[in-house]
Amino acid sequence: MKKPIIGVLAPRRFDKDDPFESQSRFVDNFPKRVIEAGGIPIGLLFPDEKFNEDEMKMVDGLIIQGGPHLGSSHICALHYAYLNKIPVLGVCLGMQTMVGYEWFRQKHLNEIDYDIILNDFSYEDEPNYLYDKAGHNNLDPFNIKDIEKCKHKVFIDKNSKLFDIFQTKILKMPSLHNSMAREEIFENDNCIFKVTGISEDSVIEVIESKDDWWCVGVQFHPELEKENLKLFEKFIKESLKDKFDCK
């Protein structure tokens, strides 16, 4: 059986004075889960935030992994996936990328392209779609042996892609973030995402695409435990579907 190519997009560090400190920071757990689920992972590299459409044309699915902050290349990659209906799994910063993308679309009345994103999207825009709140990063620094200390309940909408995968309305997942998605972003009638999971203190933990595009964003970290492999298996299955004629 053909194995889908999964592009993994990592956050980047920038240092104009020290080129050795300008890096893409990939986390091994993501390619590990992709391989276990039956896919072939490749890293997506956009030096200096210069989005390269040719890289995206190679992939059948996109994972946007966690990290400190997102850049315009994250928004461009997600925009490409949206236009071409490439399956997306966003984790932590990956879900926040979806929130930022939605905010940016609404700001520009849905009329955006790669040049608009590159010229107008900035890290400084983050307070428009995220806010900080304590209580969702109780294990800093993280140590895998203490993973239970950073878990909390996530309540899942029964009419959601995540419920179809896990067949439960309550998940207990490791949570490692300080920034939360602003609820008002999802109140627009033209929003392409919907909220399908919240924490006990009403923080948004899961968003999904409204239409038949398979796009799921989770604020928690399913990649940390092999018990959550079924999420990656479903993502890989969706990435195998022959629906990329527009690529």
Amino acid identity for residue 180 in this structure = M
| pLDDT value, residue 3 | 95
**3.40.50.880, 3.40.50.300, 2.40.160.20, 3.40.50.980: CATH of 5-240:** 3.40.50.880
| pLDDT value, residue 242 | 59
Q: Which DSSP helix (H) or strand (E) runs through 33?
A: helix 29-37
| pLDDT value, residue 11 | 85
Integer CA distances (angstroms), 100 to 95, 103, 121, in order: 9, 5, 9
Torsion of CA 141, 145, 149, 152, to 10 degrees: 100
Tens of pLDDT along the chain (247 residues) come to 689 999 999 988 777 888 888 888 899 999 999 999 999 999 999 998 899 999 999 999 999 998 877 889 999 999 999 999 999 999 999 999 999 999 999 999 989 999 999 999 998 999 999 999 888 888 888 899 999 999 999 999 999 999 999 999 999 999 999 999 999 999 998 999 999 999 999 999 999 999 899 999 999 999 999 999 999 999 999 999 854 444 4
| pLDDT value, residue 147 | 93
Q: How many residues are there in the chain?
A: 247
- How far apart CA 108 and CA 3 sit, in angstroms, is 37
Q: Which two tokens stand for residue 93?
A: 């910063």
Dihedral sign for Cα atoms in the order 199, 68, 90, 171: negative
pTM of the model: 0.93
- How far apart CA 96 and CA 93 sit, in angstroms, is 5
| Domain chopping of the chain, boundaries | 5-240
| pLDDT value, residue 13 | 79
- How far apart CA 169 and CA 156 sit, in angstroms, is 5
- Three-state secondary structure call for residue 203: coil
